[in-house]
Amino acid sequence: MRFRAKSSERGGRKGRENCRVARWGRGNRCRGAFYNGEYYGPVPNITKLLASNGRLKLVNGVVFSVADEKLRRRRLRRPGVERRLTLPLLLAAAALLLLSLQTLTSSLSSLSSRTPTLTGHNLAPTPWHPFPRPNPNPNPNPNLSLLRCAYLSCPLSSAVARRKIPSSSAPDPARPRPACPGFFRAIRRDLAPWRRARISAALLEDARRRAAMRVVVAGGGRRLFVDLYYACVQSRALFTVWGILQLMRRYPGILPDADLMFDCMDRPAINRSDYRSDDPDAPIPRRCSDTAPLRTISTFPFRIGPFGVALRSKPEINIKPWNEEFRSIKLGAQAVKWKKRAKTAYWKGNPNVESPVRTALLSCNDSKTWGARIMRQDWGEESSSGFQKSKLSSQCNHRYKIYAEGYAWSVSLKYILSCGSLAFVVDPQYEDFFSRGLVPKENYWPVSSADLCRSIKSAVDWGNTHPSQAEAIGKRGQKLMQDLDMDRVYDYMYHLIVEYSKLLDFKPTPPPSAQEVCVDSLLCVADEQQRQFLERSAASPSPTYPCTLPPPSFDSERRLSKRLQKVRSGIREERTRQAESAA
């Protein structure tokens, strides 16, 4: 019980008020009283007080007057000022919270509608090569998901990034470095036009009009920024940036800072005819043939080339990452020995890509007359059937396989060479980054596009007449692809960026509109199928430094050029004799 004895309150006005409430004792002396719900007086008197006065009661250790209790209850039933204000305040707070949520949702929606992604959100197709607008997979909460991927997946600073890839994972300088393949020399040839004038920030900015995205390597090769301008067809942009991130992971901290523009479409964006032959600022450095326009493969603006095509799988048509796909194709080729393979030339692909060569190839589909079997590839039908009839590993049953360029160059070249069959290459206009290492009649057999069917028939007859030589050429082409594993692809990418960065006359800095990208942000924005293919192509830190780039050698370049000229001259003479005999 709570009792309080206050002798000072026994007299005076307050004491008299106490006694009016409850008197107990002899005479007029106030021996104990109740005031404001509490008993004042000697503690032993509480029992007698309660027993003698029925108007008092003890509740939870506190003495209450019955009359005061009734008054207190009536007052509680009458809401005071505080209670009258409680409900309006709650309603006002709820309205303010709702308004804030609506404003936040509207702001997030507006920001989301202005945020581009590598999968094509809020981006228009490239104007120089229109294609159907990409339709990224819907998300239950697209605004929050897109913003989370774009802005919250890579909040790491350079220090945190260094902790994720520790310095101990850097390559060991004591380990010997292998020599790079000979075709790596083309890197310096590709960049030669800027050796004298160098690359300025203004020149790079001028290339933006023909670029789909800008990629900036910063932070000593540990951070990557992307500024998106246009959408890329399929998943090219996604896998290209993924390739650079894997390069940074493979060689942490040794990649130089660089500022690059990328074109992600097939055909060249700029022709040599638009520039003077002696113009050091010509944006494309070389020709791929005597009559074809210049090719933006590994230069400026950078082609997807080694950054994406050799590296990337193609989830849209169920093509696995390169190392994995090559092993699968080689196993499929070993299942059928050369002598048991069909003695015909085989091609399977999509002819509906504005390719004159592929259109003409359809007329050669006669195994008896022309020794060729030509098959149409319907990717829509294959997708619906689970790609059961388009496995590359099951297309190595013929002694000869035909390579014909599509809309421009075609990624199928490396898959055809991987079979070990003799590759019939129909006069290519374009080059891939590794095709500079191919030599006619050494890694492949050249086929004329002028008289296509007759040229294919002539090549088939030669191969059937010289089976050992034909098999040897096919094996050398397969060996070239086997040596072109992902280690060499990453090394090509590394040396290309290193040599390119030496030509910049400014310090690469990400533009304000660029977004930082990382492995987590790419996996976040990718759909489930893309995510699986990305994770399967993830790289690990390399124990050694990249291969050693061959030094510039004018003698070796001259010898290689003379060798190729001799081979091509012999091919032209042979074709002339064939045409004369046919006439």
- Assess whether pLDDT exceeds 80 at residue 359: yes
Q: What is the DSSP string of 145-195?
A: HHHIIIIIS----HHHHHHHS-GGGS--TTS--PBPPGGGGHHHHHHTTHH
Range 294-310 burial, b when 16+ CB lie within 10 A, else e: bbbbbbbbbbbbbbbbb
CA 484 → CA 183, 321, 420, 469, distances in Å?
11, 13, 14, 23
- Assess whether pLDDT exceeds 50 at residue 14: no
How large is the C-alpha radius of gyration of the chain?
41
Q: For residue 65, list its beta bridge partners.
A: 56
Max mean pLDDT among 110-124, 203-217, 455-469 falls in 455-469
State percent of the chain over pLDDT 70.
67
- What count of other Cβ atoms lies within 10 Å of the Cβ of residue 528? 8
- Residue 203, exposed/middle/buried by CB under 10 A (0-12, 13-18, 19+)? middle
Q: What does the pLDDT average to over 29-53?
A: 50
Q: How is residue 447 written in tokens? A: 């086929």
Range 534-549 burial, b when 16+ CB lie within 10 A, else e: beebebeebeebbbeb
Lowest mean pLDDT across 11-25, 90-104, 142-156, 562-576: 11-25
- Assess whether pLDDT exceeds 80 at residue 206: yes
Which residues, at least 6 apart from 303, have a Cβ–Cβ distance to it below 8 Å?
Answer: 262, 263, 295, 296, 297
pLDDT tens digits, one per residue of 129-162: 787 765 555 454 455 677 778 777 787 544 445 4
Residue 169: pLDDT band with limits 50, 70, 90: low
Within 13 A of 414's CA, how many CA atoms are on the CB side?
30
| pLDDT on residue 111 | 67
| pLDDT on residue 398 | 96
How far does Cα 451 stand from its chain's mean position?
43
pLDDT tens digits, one per residue of 229-246: 999 888 889 999 999 999
Q: For residue 83, list its beta bridge partners.
A: none
For the chain, list the domains and their CATH numbers.
7-77 (no CATH), 142-310+487-552 (no CATH), 319-483 (3.40.50.2000)
Nearest of 230, 20, 223 to residue 133 by alpha carbon: 230
Q: For residue 516, list its beta bridge partners.
A: 225
Omega within 30 of 0 (cis) for the link into 166: no
For CA atoms 215, 413, 488, 197, the dihedral sign is: negative
| pLDDT on residue 508 | 95
Residue 337: pLDDT band with limits 50, 70, 90: very high
For CA atoms 68, 69, 75, 79, the dihedral sign is: positive
Q: How is residue 465 written in tokens? A: 């007449």
- Return d(Cα 208, Cα 107) in angstroms, integer: 30
Name the residue with higher pLDDT: 37 or 109. Answer: 109
Alpha helices, H only, 355-403: 356-361, 379-384
- Assess whether pLDDT exceeds 80 at residue 563: no
Q: What is the DSSP string of 37-100?
A: TEEES-TTHHHHHHHH-TTEEEETTEEEEHHHHHHHHHHHHS--HHHHHHHHHHHHHHHHHHHH
pLDDT tens digits, one per residue of 254-286: 999 999 999 888 777 666 555 554 555 434 333
Nearest of 487, 565, 488 to residue 187 by alpha carbon: 488
- Return d(Cα 298, Cα 489) in angstroms, integer: 12
Q: What does the pLDDT average to over 30-46?
A: 49
Range 463-481 burial, b when 16+ CB lie within 10 A, else e: beeeeeebbebbebbbebb
Question: Quick check: pTM over 0.85?
Answer: no
**What value does the mean pLDDT of the chain take?**
77
What is Dmax (Cα atoms) for the chain?
Answer: 153
